[in-house]
């Protein structure tokens, strides 16, 4: 904590503590600083992001929850509840809000990759139908993930018809209270029944039970997951790791643990989280048959 105080004091200007919510974060950070460093570089200067959003948007306090905030304030940082990740996410959020409030945003600036992804998804009728049905199903930690998203982007970038190369639409969720295959199958049947005539099969998978069958299917050991989002960090190619959900406020919540650059650059890059070379190479080769513009990064 002493090193942290020295680092903050070395920064230019007067330090102001920023948090979401500041009332909670400031309380325990201030206690640790006083207890272990003997002082706080912030004094009593604290700014609450939610209150700042209330003033900036001219909305009531309860209307400024994160799902209700403008999408362009978020830069796609993962919300993992890991302290460093959350600090980066909130810092980026506040910096974007501050820049907008002070008029430092560039008029007509190019959209961010998150904004481009949202535009492409919202323009796809079938993806939006699936997102709305999945939202109504209220599955725990659900997301629409992988191929139906990044392949839709590739089709948009290359001018191909919307559903070119899309073999299925994947929905994941996480329910460690029921690991039965029967419940998973019933959930899939329920989603499919809401979308008769959908252009490709809808596959629904409970990520809490993947470790029960993955090794037998792929020949690679698979430790149990702690969340649905964690599953994306283990996909054979980092390019595959993108998922979205539609919030109650109709905001698209994007999770892309490796970022969106490779998807928009049409690069298929291996993910060495698991020794899954065969899957990376097989899927990459198959994708290149449809999108020859792809750049495939070899596993080794």
Residues 208-231 have pLDDT tens digits of 999 999 999 999 999 999 999 999
pLDDT at 199 over 80: yes
Percent helix, strand and coil across the chain, each to the nearest 5: 50, 10, 40
Dig out the tokens for 81 from the structure. Answer: 């509840």
- Asked if the model's pLDDT at residue 240 lies above 70, the reply is yes
With 70 as the cut, is the pLDDT of residue 79 above it? Answer: no
Give me the mean pLDDT over the 264-276 stretch. Answer: 96
Q: How far apart are CA 157 and CA 148, in angstroms?
A: 14
The residue extents of the domains of the chain are 2-101, 124-296
Residue 150 confidence (pLDDT) above 60: yes
pLDDT over 70 (residue 175): yes
**Percent of the chain scored above 90 by pLDDT?**
66
Comparing 182 with 19, the larger pLDDT belongs to: 182
Range name among 38-52, 146-160, 179-193 with the lowest pLDDT average: 38-52
Confidence of residue 250 (pLDDT cuts 50, 70, 90): confident
With a pLDDT cut of 70, the percent of the chain lying above it is 96
Supply the angle between the helices 49-57 and 83-101 in degrees, to the nearest 10. Answer: 30
In this predicted structure, which of 22-26, 78-82, 263-267 has the lowest mean pLDDT? 78-82
Looking at residues 239-246, what average pLDDT do you find? 95
Total Cβ atoms within 10 A of residue 31 = 11
Predicted pLDDT of residue 156? 96
pLDDT at residue number 77: 64
Residue 46, φ and ψ in degrees, nearest 5: -140, 140
Reported as a pLDDT band with limits 50, 70 and 90, residue 106 is low
For residues 107 and 125, the answer to whether their CB atoms sit within 8 Å is no
pLDDT value at residue 71: 77
Start-to-end CA distance of the chain, whole Å, equals 41
Query: What is the model's pLDDT at position 78?
Result: 62
Average pLDDT over residues 143-170: 96
pLDDT at 107 over 60: no
Averaged pLDDT, 277-284 = 96
What burial letters (b/e) apply to 203-237, b meaning 16+ CB within 10 Å? bbbbbbbbeeebeeeeeeebeebebbbbbbbbbbb
Residue 291 pLDDT exceeds 60: yes
What is each CA distance from 217 to 151, 196, 199, 252, in whole angstroms?
24, 29, 26, 32
Beta-bridged to residue 47, according to DSSP, are 18
pLDDT band of 64, cuts 50, 70, 90:
confident
Q: What is the mean pLDDT of residues 248-256?
A: 87
Residue 111 banded pLDDT, cuts 50, 70, 90: confident
- Mean pLDDT over 136-150 rounds to 96
Kindly state the average pLDDT of the residues 153-178. Answer: 96
């Amino acid at each position: 904590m002493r090193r942290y105080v020295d680092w903050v004091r070395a920064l230019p200007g007067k330090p102001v503590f920023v948090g979401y919510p500041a009332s909670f974060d400031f309380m325990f950070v201030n206690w640790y600083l006083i207890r272990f460093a003997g002082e706080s570089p912030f004094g009593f200067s604290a700014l609450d992001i939610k209150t700042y959003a209330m003033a900036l948007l001219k909305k009531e306090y309860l209307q400024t929850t994160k799902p209700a905030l403008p999408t362009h304030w978020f830069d796609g940082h993962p919300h993992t509840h890991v302290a460093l990740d959350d600090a980066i996410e909130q810092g980026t959020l506040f910096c974007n809000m501050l820049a907008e409030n002070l008029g430092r945003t560039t008029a007509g600036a190019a959209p961010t990759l998150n904004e481009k992804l949202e535009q492409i998804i919202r323009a796809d009728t079938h993806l939006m139908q699936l997102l709305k049905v999945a939202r109504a199903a209220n599955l725990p930690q659900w997301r629409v993930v992988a191929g139906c998203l990044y392949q839709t982007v590739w089709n948009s970038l290359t001018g191909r018809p919307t559903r070119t190369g899309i073999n299925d639409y994947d929905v994941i969720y996480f329910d460690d209270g029921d690991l039965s295959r029967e419940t998973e199958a019933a959930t899939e049947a329920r989603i499919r029944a809401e979308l008769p005539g959908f252009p490709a099969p809808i596959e629904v998978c409970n990520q809490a039970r993947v470790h029960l069958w993955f090794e037998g299917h792929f020949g690679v050991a698979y430790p149990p997951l702690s969340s649905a989002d964690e599953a994306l960090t283990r996909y054979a190619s980092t390019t595959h790791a993108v998922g979205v959900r539609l919030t109650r406020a109709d905001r698209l919540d994007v999770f892309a643990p490796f970022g969106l650059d490779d998807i928009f650059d049409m690069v298929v890059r291996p993910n060495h989280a698991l020794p899954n070379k065969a899957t990376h190479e097989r899927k990459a080769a198959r994708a290149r048959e449809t999108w020859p513009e792809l750049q495939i990064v070899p596993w080794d």
